[in-house]
Amino acid sequence: MNAQKEDEKPVTLLKELCGADAALYSLLSYYLYATPLAAVSEEDLATLIEEAEESGNFRPAVDKAIFEGARNPSERERYIKVIQDLASKTIRATERAREEREKEGFSERAASLGRRIEDQRFIIERTEDILSVASKFYSEKLVERGEHVKREAREEARKEADREGRRIGELEKTGRNARRKARRKMGRAERREAKKRDRQEDLAAEERKEAREEKRREAEREELRIREMEETSRDARKKDRRGS
């Protein structure tokens, strides 16, 4: 039963891109971000490298280099060298830290630093594969992010239209009540004319309400059309990834 459930789990984008390469998947599960625009530093790479060389923490610079390298395939070779250089510097910094932890008797901490060194060696050996997967991964994630932002904007526009519709409805109701109250003080002939005008206004209000309702229904149809286009585009990108 458990094996069957495991088979039914949807394949994640990263798993799809890494295929049977478990080692690559394991590393990139830690090094790639589903929300790169939020997770990767906005500082330029040169600044991050300079800060890393002062602090000994090269991770932000590595993240930035992978992200930029993924988005700039024409400069792939340059980013490969930058990432490998950063990984080498990370190894040296980590080896020094591991030696210090071993001297202090923190063997467990030293072991975890050893795993970090192995990760950096893997990065050096597989930089080209890492950037290849990262390019497809981040490309898809950025498209999804763009779709999400537009979807939120459309949803907010619909909510605003609903709020405006309710506001207009309340104003019209207030106006009807005020006219009804005013008619009580009118003479018969004047009241008759006022009722006629009010009926015309009520008809116009109904027409405006129906126009708003039709606009809302059209927005729902357009949203469905956009969702279908997004799904078709998503399937096409997935097919392209499998064919590449």
| pLDDT tens by residue, 24-63 | 999 999 999 999 999 999 999 999 999 999 998 999 999 9
**SS3 label, residue 185:** coil
For residues 66 and 46, give the distance between their C-alpha atoms in angstroms, rounded to a whole number: 14
Q: Judge whether residue 151 has pLDDT over 80.
A: yes
Q: Judge whether residue 13 has pLDDT over 60.
A: yes
Helix (H) or strand (E) holding 243: helix 188-243
What is the rounded average pLDDT of the residues 190-199?
89
Q: Judge whether residue 1 has pLDDT over 60.
A: no
pTM of the model: 0.81
Per-residue confidence (pLDDT) for residue 243, from 0 to 100:
75
What is the rounded average pLDDT of the residues 154-176?
92
Per-residue confidence (pLDDT) for residue 228, from 0 to 100:
95
Please list, residue by residue across 73-83, b when 16 or more beta carbons sit within 10 angstroms of its beta carbon and e when fewer do: eeebeebbebb
Q: Average model confidence (pLDDT) for the chain?
A: 90
What are the extents of the domains in the chain? Answer: 2-135, 143-243
Q: What is the DSSP string of 129-178?
A: HHHHHHHHHHHHHHHHHHHHHHHHHHHHHHHHHHHHHHHHHHHHHHHHHH
pLDDT in tens, 68-117: 999 999 999 999 999 999 999 999 999 888 888 777 766 667 677 888 99
Q: Where do runs of H (alpha helix) occur along 43-126?
A: 45-55, 59-71, 76-104, 107-125
